[in-house]
């Protein structure tokens, strides 16, 4: 086993390869913004009009990181067009919210989704670091909106979803939206140096990974009631749901491990790194396929797989978690997992164009691209490169 995955040049080149798959093919000169619906095998556009809020914001993040590590590329201009599209097309000035789904530049779904607004905050944070105009204002506005509409101070967590006017909130409460809100708060702290964002990230992380997890043997359940009680029956009949599957997700356990290691980097807390290591171990112990490699999509209370398909994003998050945990602990076992996960990603997840396949069978055969609105324009593999660069090589 070599250390090539830890070298800055290799990581920047891998990051650039992902960007090159989506650029310029993902630039929409007709409507503005980006196109995320590219066939993973061929790179051909199969839907030029669907514009998901999560895809737009993730594109902005990706191009900002591209500019940070590959400043000679066209990435800054590509990021600026995404911020402009956010402001001019997704943003609703009457409510201050961001529309969930567009066709071209026309809104087709006005729902106000915490998950999406978390990524709006993240996009503005990375854009501010890149020096993009209006991004600092966007951080302030989006943080205020999250506190005004989604934040539930009694639980130190966020509601999941409203209608387009912020009048009616869904009863559903979700782990995933709060995890990404924590991620965005950490990025806002990195971008501004302000402790209020770090404090909010710490609140969310403790509420979910300590308080609620203590009710379930340290594991993280995905779905909750309006009062933040575990809803163990939600989507029981939809175990393969893309956003809200029934079961435990090893990918989210290991993603939280990464976020808690990052939190430990900035905050004076005595629980984050311990919980990060425990969650990493749960993901490996119950979620890793010892025969074929990769993480199962979900597992049950006995640690047995429910959905055996493999997704690219948990492996990418595992790479980032292993890098950050090594940086925080010095335990070389995390370096071993970092290399092992990159080996798997290079062998099975890397598509011909340099991007990651979204989904594989248990035996690691690529699954044909789903033709619905896409939300993952390389965000997770670029994040893996980013965390490797700053945790292992010191490139920030």
Cα distance between residue 297 and residue 302, in whole Å: 15
**230 is known as an active-site residue:** no
Residue 169 is classified by DSSP as: B
Q: Choosing from 90, 117, 189, 380, which is the catalytic residue?
A: 380
Cα distance between residue 121 and residue 270, in whole Å: 27
Tell me the C-alpha to C-alpha distance, in Å, between residue 392 and each of 7, 94, 190, 253. 8, 45, 18, 22
Cα distance between residue 250 and residue 313, in whole Å: 11
Instruction: Please give the full DSSP string across 47-114, using - where no structure is assigned.
Output: ESSEEEHHHHHHHHHHHHHHHHH-TTSSHHHHHHHHHHHIIIIIB-TTTS-B-SEEETTEEEE--EEH
Taking CA 57 as the corner, what is the angle to CA 28 and CA 127, rounded to the nearest 5 degrees? 100
Tell me the C-alpha to C-alpha distance, in Å, between residue 231 and each of 158, 175, 228. 16, 11, 8
- Candidates 237, 236, 321; CA nearest to 284 is 321
Cα distance between residue 240 and residue 260, in whole Å: 27
Q: Do 375 and 54 form a contact (C-beta atoms < 8 A)? A: yes
Cα distance between residue 377 and residue 116, in whole Å: 15
Q: Choosing from 189, 206, 252, 253, which is the catalytic residue?
A: 252
Tell me how crowded residue 5 is: count the other CB atoms within 10 A of its CB.
24
**380 is known as an active-site residue:** yes
**Annotated catalytic sites, by residue?**
252, 380
């Amino acid at each position: 086993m070599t250390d090539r995955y830890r070298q800055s040049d290799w990581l920047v080149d891998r990051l650039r390869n992902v960007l090159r798959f989506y650029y310029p093919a993902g630039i929409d000169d007709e409507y503005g913004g980006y196109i995320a619906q590219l066939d993973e095998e061929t790179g051909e556009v199969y839907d030029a009009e669907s514009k998901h809020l999560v895809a737009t914001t993730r594109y902005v993040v990706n191009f900002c990181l591209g500019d940070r590590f590959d400043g000679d590329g066209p990435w800054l201009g590509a990021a600026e067009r995404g911020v402009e599209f956010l402001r001019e097309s997704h943003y609703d000035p009457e409510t201050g919210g961001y529309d969930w789904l567009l066709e071209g530049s026309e809104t087709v779904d006005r729902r106000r989704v915490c998950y999406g607004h978390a990524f709006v905050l993240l996009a503005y944070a990375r854009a501010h670091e890149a020096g993009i105009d209006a991004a600092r204002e966007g951080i302030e506005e989006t943080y205020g909106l999250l506190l005004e509409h989604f934040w539930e101070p009694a639980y130190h967590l966020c509601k999941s979803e409203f209608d387009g006017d912020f009048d009616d909130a869904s009863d559903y409460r979700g782990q995933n939206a709060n995890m990404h809100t924590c991620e965005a708060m950490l990025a806002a702290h990195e971008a501004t140096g302000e402790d209020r964002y770090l404090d909010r990230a710490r609140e969310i992380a403790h509420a979910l990974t300590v308080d609620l997890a203590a009710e379930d043997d340290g594991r993280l359940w995905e779905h909750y009631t309006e009062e933040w009680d575990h809803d163990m029956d939600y989507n029981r009949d939809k175990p393969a749901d893309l956003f809200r599957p029934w079961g435990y997700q090893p990918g989210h356990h290991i993603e939280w491990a990464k976020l808690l290691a990052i939190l430990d980097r900035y905050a004076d807390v005595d629980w984050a790194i311990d919980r990060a290591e425990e969650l990493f171990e749960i993901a490996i112990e119950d979620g890793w396929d010892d025969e074929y490699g990769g993480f199962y999509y979900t597992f049950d209370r006995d640690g047995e797989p429910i959905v055996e398909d493999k997704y690219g994003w948990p492996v990418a998050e595992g790479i980032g978690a292993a890098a950050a945990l090594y940086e925080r602990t010095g335990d070389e076992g995390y370096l071993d997992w970092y290399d092992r996960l990159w080996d798997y990603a290079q062998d099975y997840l890397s598509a011909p164009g340099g991007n990651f396949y979204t989904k594989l069978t248990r035996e690691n055969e690529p699954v044909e691209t789903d033709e619905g609105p896409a939300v993952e324009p390389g965000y997770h593999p670029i994040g893996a490169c980013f965390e490797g660069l700053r945790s292992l090589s010191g490139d920030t």
